[in-house]
């Protein structure tokens, strides 16, 4: 499978249309995410015009999922009670026809995480977003990852992403220096961003939350939803990186760049390759 299978101009236009819809509709995104990422994920969603809800308690999260436009599940700071809530919430979202997005953070690090991610995969996420090491391991390969760090190139994970997408009927977004999105049939690369992005904690987790916002307004097209979210991140990251003097100034400049992103940027500055 090659990028030639995807017509990039129509995909860029569809991404732009989804961006406009997110801004207009302000979708509610329920995030069961890790403690480290809650603040930045909420701020990224707000900067894009979406509405974040960090609702994760077992007593209410499954019920709340039926009110949300999309659910995002991130296993970064996993515990047994959180896993129970994640499983119940994903099942509830499925019953209500609500798309949910999985971020399998460091799922290969421990037996508890490996078991957790297999249980979550069985509940059919619409989109999986991870770094190259996580995606390689998720497909059963040997990755060089250590904890949450990605030590493999995205190019090394593309075949793994295709395998996962076909096996689970999902869209897989592999993020790194150059991103790759696949539904098992189509594939596209996304360039841009900044070398400073990995220096700001939970940037990837926040991207997963943003994928949820786009999935909420494109329930029947998770491929384009993932592409659109990653495109926004890439353009804003590149703009912020040009002005930043380090990780600290990049963090706030990136939020500003997301908030200031013009609709036509998704076609005029399309990062699709």
Residue 194 DSSP class: -
Q: Is the pLDDT of residue 4 over 50?
A: no
Q: Which of 143, 138, 131, 126 has the alpha carbon at shortest distance from 163?
A: 138
Q: Is 216 labelled as part of a ligand binding site?
A: no
3-state DSSP call for residue 19? helix
Please give the mean pLDDT across all residues of the chain. Answer: 95
Q: Is the pLDDT of residue 3 over 60?
A: no
Q: Is the pLDDT of residue 159 over 90?
A: yes
Q: Is 175 labelled as part of a ligand binding site?
A: yes
Q: Is 202 labelled as part of a ligand binding site?
A: yes
Walk across the sheet containing 28-32 and list its strands: 51-53, 28-32, 70-74, 100-103, 127-131, 171-175, 179-182, 187-190
**pLDDT at res. 142:** 74
Do 116 and 85 contact (CB within 8 A), yes or no?
no
Cα(99)–Cα(62) distance, integer angstroms: 13
User: Any bridge partners for residue 87, and if so which?
Assistant: none
What's the pLDDT tens digit per position in 22-56? Answer: 999 999 999 999 999 999 999 999 999 999 999 99
Helix, strand, coil in percent for the chain, rounding step 5: 55, 15, 35
Q: What is the count of structural domains for the chain?
A: 1
| Three-class HEC string of 118-149 | HHHHCCCCCEEEEEHHHHHHHCCCCCCCECCE
pTM of the predicted model as reported, rounded to 2 decimal places: 0.95
Identify the CATH number of the domain in which residue 45 sits: 3.40.1190.20
Q: Is 48 labelled as part of a ligand binding site?
A: no
Distances in Å between the Cα of 50 and the Cα atoms of 15, 25, 62, 210 are 16, 8, 20, 8
Domain that includes residue 193, residue range = 4-269
Phi, psi of 142, deg, nearest 5: -95, 115
Q: Which of 9, 6, 28 has the alpha carbon at shortest distance from 17?
A: 9
What's the pLDDT tens digit per position in 219-271? Answer: 999 999 999 999 999 999 999 999 999 999 999 999 999 999 999 999 999 99
């Amino acid at each position: 499978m090659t990028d030639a299978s995807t017509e990039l101009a129509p995909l860029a236009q569809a991404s732009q249309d989804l961006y406009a819809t997110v801004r207009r509709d302000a979708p509610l995104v329920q995030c069961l995410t890790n403690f480290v990422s809650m603040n930045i994920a909420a701020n990224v969603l707000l900067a894009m015009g979406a509405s974040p809800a960090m609702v994760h308690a077992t007593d209410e999260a499954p019920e709340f999922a039926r009110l949300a436009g999309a659910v995002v599940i991130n296993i970064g700071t996993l515990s047994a009670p959180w896993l129970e809530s994640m499983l119940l919430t994903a099942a509830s979202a499925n019953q209500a026809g609500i798309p949910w997005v999985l971020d399998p953070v460091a799922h290969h690090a421990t037996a508890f995480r490996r078991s957790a991610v297999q249980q979550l995969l069985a509940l059919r996420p619409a989109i999986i977003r991870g770094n190259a090491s996580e995606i390689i391991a998720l497909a059963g390969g040997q990755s060089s990852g250590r904890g949450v760090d990605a030590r493999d190139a995205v190019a090394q994970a593309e075949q793994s992403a295709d395998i996962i997408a076909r096996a689970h009927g999902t869209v897989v977004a592999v993020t790194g220096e150059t991103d790759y999105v696949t539904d098992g049939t189509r594939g596209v690369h996304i360039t841009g961003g900044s070398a400073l992005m990995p220096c700001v904690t939970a940037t990837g987790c926040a991207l997963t939350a943003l994928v949820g916002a786009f999935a909420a307004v494109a329930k029947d097209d998770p491929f384009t939803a993932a592409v659109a979210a990653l495109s926004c991140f890439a353009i804003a990251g590149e703009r912020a990186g040009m002005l930043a003097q380090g990780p600290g100034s990049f963090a706030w400049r990136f939020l500003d760049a997301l908030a200031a992103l013009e609709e036509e940027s998704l076609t005029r500055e399309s990062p699709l390759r």
